[in-house]
């Protein structure tokens, strides 16, 4: 019996560096997830993502749930797109934003942390409304952005996003105070 225990201990010591390396790689992968930055996205990254979008599975006019794991690693690229990248048709980008928002708290946290870096006015407003209305990741910065948007032409974007619920949304935004 003692020989078996000693053998197990010896094997465990031999495998320990491999196990530690595996755990370290996993920890680095988790930590590096939020290290993606919107500002570091290249034109090549954007082109790759725009090509990828045309291949994502759809269900009617929306992206299907199987699109999530394919598009998820590109959230930072999506948020880096500007009006020159997107052109006139914002709808597919908004639809993909909704899928990525709804599917993962990690995505909502990422978007909230990097909110100031979102480049396209419509995408920024859409994420602001999503984070305000449908998540716990809304920040004071996002509330202030929405409040200031109600006082200029960006209110038309909010109205387009909210539709007939605009007035109710407007009241909720104006009445919201964030704890200090």
Terminal C-alpha separation, the chain: 63
* Per-residue pLDDT band at 39 (split at 50, 70, 90): confident
- The whole-chain average pLDDT of the chain stands at 87
Q: Provide the strand spans (E) within the chain.
A: 58-59, 62-63
Residue corresponding to tokens 């716990």: 136
Q: What is the pLDDT of residues 41-100, one digit of tens each?
A: 999 999 999 999 999 999 998 999 999 999 999 999 999 999 999 999 999 999 999 999
Where exactly are the structural domains of the chain? 1-33, 37-175
Q: Is the dihedral of CA 130, 133, 139, 143 positive or negative?
A: positive
Task: Report d(CA 44, CA 108) in Å as an integer.
Answer: 25
- Residue 37: the pLDDT is 87
Arithmetic mean of pLDDT, 20-26: 45
80 compared with 36, residue with greater pLDDT = 80
Task: Report d(CA 41, CA 76) in Å as an integer.
Answer: 8
Q: Is the pLDDT of residue 19 over 80?
A: no
Supply the pTM of this predicted model: 0.79
């Amino acid at each position: 019996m003692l020989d078996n225990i000693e053998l197990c201990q010896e094997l465990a010591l031999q495998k320990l560096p491999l196990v530690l390396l595996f755990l370290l790689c996993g920890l680095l992968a988790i930590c590096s997830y939020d290290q993606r930055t919107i500002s570091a996205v290249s034109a090549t990254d954007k082109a790759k993502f725009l090509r990828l979008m045309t291949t994502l599975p759809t269900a009617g006019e929306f992206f299907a749930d199987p699109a999530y794991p394919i598009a998820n690693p590109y959230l930072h690229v999506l948020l880096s797109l500007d009006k020159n990248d997107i052109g006139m048709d914002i709808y597919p980008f908004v639809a993909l934003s909704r899928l990525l928002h709804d599917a993962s708290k990690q995505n909502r946290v990422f978007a909230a942390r990097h909110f100031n870096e979102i480049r396209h006015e419509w995408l920024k407003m859409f994420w602001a409304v999503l984070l305000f209305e449908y998540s716990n990741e809304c920040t004071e910065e996002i509330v202030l952005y929405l409040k200031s948007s109600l006082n200029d032409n960006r209110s038309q974007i909010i109205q387009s996003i909210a539709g007939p619920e605009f007035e109710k949304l407007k009241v909720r935004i104006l009445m919201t105070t964030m704890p200090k």
